[in-house]
C-alpha cells in the first residue's frame, strides 16, 4: 500500500471516530465492492457542493465527494490528503486562537 492510500485510510478512520453516527456508512462505502455506489455518490456530492448556494445543499458536500472519489482515483489521493491536512491544521489553529482570545477577556 502506498503512502497516499495509507494516509487516506487514516483520514477516514479519524472521520469515523469523530462522526460516529456516520461510521457505519463510511465503513460500507470503503469496501472494494461498494465502488459502483461510491463513484456516483462522490460525483453527486461534488455537484451538490458546487451548488451550495441552494438551501438544502452545502459546501460540506464538496470535500466529502472528493474524499470518496480519492479512494478510487489515485491521482486525487495526494492533493486530497494535502488539502485535508492543511484544512485540519488551519481549523485547529483557528479554534485555539479563538479559545485563547476568550480566556484573555
pLDDT-derived band at 105 (thresholds 50, 70, 90) equals low
Report the C-alpha gap between 92 and 23 in whole angstroms.
Answer: 22
Which domain range does residue 16 map to? 3-104
pLDDT-derived band at 52 (thresholds 50, 70, 90) equals confident
pLDDT digits (tens, 9 = 90+) for 6-51: 888 888 888 889 888 888 888 888 898 989 999 999 999 999 888 8
Short-list 92, 62, 80, CA closest to 11: 80
Report the C-alpha gap between 100 and 105 in whole angstroms.
Answer: 9
pLDDT-derived band at 1 (thresholds 50, 70, 90) equals low
Q: Is the pTM of the predicted complex or chain greater than 0.85?
A: no
Query: What's the grid cell of residue 27?
Result: 465503513
pLDDT digits (tens, 9 = 90+) for 58-89: 888 888 899 899 999 989 988 998 888 898 88
Instruction: Look at the chain and report how many structural domains it folds into.
Output: 1
Amino acid at each position: 500500500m502506498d503512502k497516499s492510500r495509507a494516509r487516506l485510510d487514516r483520514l477516514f478512520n479519524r472521520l469515523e471516530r469523530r462522526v460516529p453516527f456516520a461510521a457505519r456508512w463510511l465503513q460500507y462505502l470503503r469496501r472494494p465492492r461498494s465502488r459502483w455506489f461510491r463513484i456516483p455518490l462522490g460525483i453527486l456530492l461534488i455537484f451538490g457542493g458546487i451548488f451550495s448556494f441552494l438551501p438544502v445543499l452545502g459546501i460540506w458536500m464538496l470535500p466529502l465527494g472528493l474524499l470518496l472519489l480519492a479512494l478510487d482515483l489515485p491521482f486525487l489521493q495526494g492533493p486530497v490528503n494535502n488539502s485535508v491536512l492543511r484544512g485540519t491544521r488551519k481549523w485547529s489553529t483557528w479554534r485555539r486562537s479563538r479559545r485563547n482570545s476568550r480566556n484573555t477577556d
